[in-house]
Amino acid sequence: MNRIDRLSNIITQLSKGDGLSTPSLVTKFKTTKKIIQTDLKEYLIPLFSNGKIYYDYSSKTYKAKNNFLTKTLFSAEELAIISILKAKSKDKYSDKDLFKKTEILFHKFEEELSNRIYQKSAVEKIDTFKDEIIQIKNAIESKNIIKCFYSDKQREIYPLKILNLEGYWYLIIYEPKDNKIKTFHLNTIENIEVTNLEFTYSEDKIKSFDNAITAYYKPDNELTIQLFIDSTVARYFIRKPISSSQRIIKKYDDNSIEVELMITDLMEIIPTIQRYMPYIKVIEPNELKVKVRENIEVYLKDNE
């Protein structure tokens, strides 16, 4: 096992609250006492200036502040790489003050990430819940179960994916209590606690959410639809497809197109169709045609 993998593994274990002794790490990684002590004393302990990783003399183990990974935007592997870079910056052949400047840059970079991450693509501002996003992001990466308060209920959930849908931030979760996948509006999740309990979930199912168009997305309920898109707006749908499942199945001489895509609920696509009327028409399925027509009739009736 190389140093990056070894350090990453140690960081993950420390973040879970485990006390790690040198002999146990020597046995685990099948290496020498000198290498393990170097890993900890020269790479990991200097990683943070605030003593997040330290040696507990009473138990003769290395420890860290519980769940410290949930307070950083970096993964365990990224922190391992940074620790190596910081250690290399202290090399006698390095430029003067390189280590000090590297440490300042590291903290500045993390602060900037905390302030800027997700902001560019989001319509909904995240200023009031960016700390929660950091916690959840790290829980997703480490596959740790979360306890939180949502919709007047205390919950224990599997955080699967953060999505920005139509300008709003959502967390896709699995709730074991009722065996359902749900979509939580991210900034209304409260009292987040990242536990040490790990979960497993189908990676294919999590990846399927990349096809989500709106919060109405429902896995395991696929429906193929076809739309005619007039040349007046076709270029917008070519530049930015409705979803990753969209494919052009026909092009007309006037640059109009027909597209096919997968949805899981009619309400995933109906708002888009109605927004671009009369330049989008439903080719199939018939149930989608009927629902759009009903919406138009209700609108016209209410606005007579």
Pairing of strands 223-229, 257-263: antiparallel
- Mean pLDDT lowest for which of 96-105, 168-177, 253-262, 286-295? 96-105
Transcribe 208-260 into DSSP letters: HGGG--STT--TT--EEEEEEE-HHHHHHHHHS-SSTT-EEEEE-TTS-EEEE
pTM, two decimal places:
0.54
C-alpha closest to that of 79 among 143, 12, 132, 16: 12
Mean pLDDT of the 54-62 span? 89
Distance between CA 279 and CA 297 in Å, rounded?
A: 18
Q: Would the CATH topology of 130-201 be identical to that of 223-302?
A: no
Rg of the Cα atoms in the chain: 25
Dihedral sign, CA of 40, 46, 50, 56?
Answer: positive
Pick the CATH number of 3-112 from 3.40.50, 3.30.70, 1.10.3470, 1.10.10: 1.10.10
Band of pLDDT at residue 141, cut at 50, 70 and 90: confident
pLDDT score recorded for residue 117: 44
Pick the CATH number of 223-302 from 1.10.20, 3.40.50, 3.30.70, 2.60.120: 3.30.70
State yes or no: pLDDT of 111 exceeds 70: no
Band of pLDDT at residue 122, cut at 50, 70 and 90: very low
CATH code for the part of the protein at 130-201: 2.30.30.140
Mean pLDDT of the 75-80 span? 84
Mean pLDDT of the 151-172 span? 89
Q: Dump pLDDT digits (tens) for 2-25.
A: 899 999 999 988 888 888 999 999
pLDDT score recorded for residue 16: 81
Q: Domain map of the chain by residue range?
A: 3-112, 130-201, 223-302
Mean pLDDT of the 199-218 span? 85
Q: Dump pLDDT digits (tens) for 223-255.
A: 999 999 999 999 999 988 988 889 999 999 999
pLDDT score recorded for residue 294: 94
pLDDT score recorded for residue 118: 47
